[in-house]
Amino acid sequence: MADGKMNFPGVRADVSNEFDEATNLIRGGQERSQFDETAEAIYATSGYVYRTAAEAEAAFAGEHDRYIYSRYGNPTVTTFEERLRLLEGAEACLATASGMAAVYASLACMVSAGEKVVGSRALFGSCHVILAEILPRMGVETVLVDGTSLDEWDAALAGGAKAVFLETPSNPGLEVIDLAAVAERAKAVGAMVIVDNVFASPVLQKPLELGADVVVYSATKHIDGQGRTMGGAILGPDEYINKTVMGFTRHTGPSLSPFNAWVLTKGLETIRLRVEAASRAAEELATRLVADPRVASVRYPTLACHPQHDLAMKQMSMGGTIFTVDVGSKERAFTFVDALRLMDISNNVGDSKSLVTHPATTTHRRLPEEARAAVGIGPGMVRVSVGLESVEDLYRDLDQALG
C-alpha cells in the first residue's frame, strides 16, 4: 500500500550528502515546478487528479509513488519535512499541525493498553496531561520520574517499558537530563526514547547523536521563530516514521497545512542565525541578572549555578533562548511582569519578539501545586523567552521593571 507521501527524486537525496548544513537550510527539499520559480511553491490543494480510473486504482494499490490526498502528503509539506530532516540528521520526518499533535502521535502510534511509558516529570503542561491523564485512561501505564536522577530511571525501567519520553532542557524549569545515559538504560530494556527537543531547537542539541531514537518538535517555536504559525514534526528511523507513525496519522488526521509548511520552510532558512543570536542575548541577560540583588535566583543552562551545568555544557552547543528568573512571590512576579514596557506578556516561546510568562498561573496552572514545586515552578518564577531585539534595550527594560 502506498503511503501517499512521495519520496524525492534522486537529485534531492544527493543534495544532503554533498552540501553543508548552511546550504541545506536554504535549498534542502526544494523541488521546482515546471514554472522554474526561485522560491518554494505553495501547493494549496487537498487532492490530486488521475488521468484514468486505472491510474487511481494503481495509486491506491501502491503501485505508483504519487500524492493521493493531502492528509497523507503534500509537496509543500514534503519540502518542509525534507529540510528539517537534513538539519536533524534523521532518516525520516513527518510534519504535524502542532507540537502537541507530534507528541501525541509519536506515542499513540506505538503504545497499547497494558504497556508502560516512562517519562521525566518536568514536562510542558500539555505533555504532562498526555502522560499523566490521557494515556492512563487508555490503559497505558505511565511512570514519571525525576529526570535528573539516574537511579529513578533505573527503578522505573526495571520491569521493562515500551517508550521513554523526556524533555531537555525542560519547559519552564530548564532541567537538563543526561540523554546518553538515559538512552543507554532504555536501550537495555528495549524501550524507544522520544525526546521533546523544543527548548534546545534542532541547532543547539542533537538527541539522535546521543542515542535517542525519536525527536519531536513544536515547530511553532524556533522553527517558525517569528510567531506566525502552528506546526510540529516527528523525526526518527524510516520504518517508525513511514510505517508506524504514518499508519496512525494518515487515519487520525493531524496533517500540517501547505501554507503553514511553507512558512516553516522559510523559517528554517534563518533558524541557526536567529537561535544563536537569541542565545547569546539570553546568556548575557541571565549573567547580568544572576548578579542582581533584586532577584532571588536565575536559571539558565550555561550559568555556573545551574544544577546540571557540566552536563549542559557537554550536551548543548549553547544554552538556548530561554531563562527563568525568580523574584520571590506571585505578587512581585506580577508587578515585575506588568512593569515591562518592551517585552510582551505571552505564553509562547522562541519568537523574534521577547516574551515573558508566569508559568504557575498560565502554562502550568493545570499541574497540582506539589507537582509544580517538584519541577521548580514557584509562585515567583517568570520565564523569559529572549528574541532578537537590542540586548541593551532588553536589559534596560528588565532593569526598570525590577526597580
Residue with the three cell numbers 530548564 = 174
Residue 30 binding ligand PLP, by CB under 6 A: no
| Of the candidate residues 87, 100, 204, 391, the single one contacting ligand PLP (CB under 6 A) | 100
Residue 230 binding ligand PLP, by CB under 6 A: yes
Cβ neighbors of 396 (< 8 A, separation 6 or more) are none
C-alpha cell at 300: 539558565
| Of the candidate residues 74, 78, 98, 242, the single one contacting ligand PLP (CB under 6 A) | 98
Among 122, 130, 67, 120, smallest CA distance to 98 is for 130
- For residue 363, the minimal CB distance to ligand PLP (Å) is 8
Considering only the stretches 99-107, 174-182, 255-263, 276-284, report the one whose residues sit in contact with ligand PLP under the rule CB under 6 A.
99-107
- Which H, E and C letters describe 85-151, residue by residue? HHHHCCCEEEEECCHHHHHHHHHHCCCCCCCEEEEECCCCHHHHHHHHHHHHHCCCEEEEECCCCHH
* DSSP output for 239-269: HIIIIIIHHHHHHH--PPPHHHHHHHHHHHH
* DSSP output for 369-385: HHHHHHTT--TTEEEEE
Residue 359 binding ligand PLP, by CB under 6 A: no
Residue 232 binding ligand PLP, by CB under 6 A: yes
Residue 234 binding ligand PLP, by CB under 6 A: no
Q: Which residues face 356 on adjacent strands? A: 345, 384
What does the per-residue mask of binding to ligand PLP show for 149-188, with x meaning CB under 6 A?
A: ------------------x---x-----------------
Cβ proximity to ligand PLP: between 100 and 186 the closer is 100
C-alpha cell at 292: 542582581
Residue 326 binding ligand PLP, by CB under 6 A: no
Considering only the stretches 66-74, 149-157, 191-199, 284-292, report the one whose residues sit in contact with ligand PLP under the rule CB under 6 A.
191-199
Q: Catalog residues that contact ligand PLP under the rule CB under 6 A.
A: 98-100, 103, 124, 126-127, 167, 171, 196, 198-199, 218, 220-221, 230, 232, 349
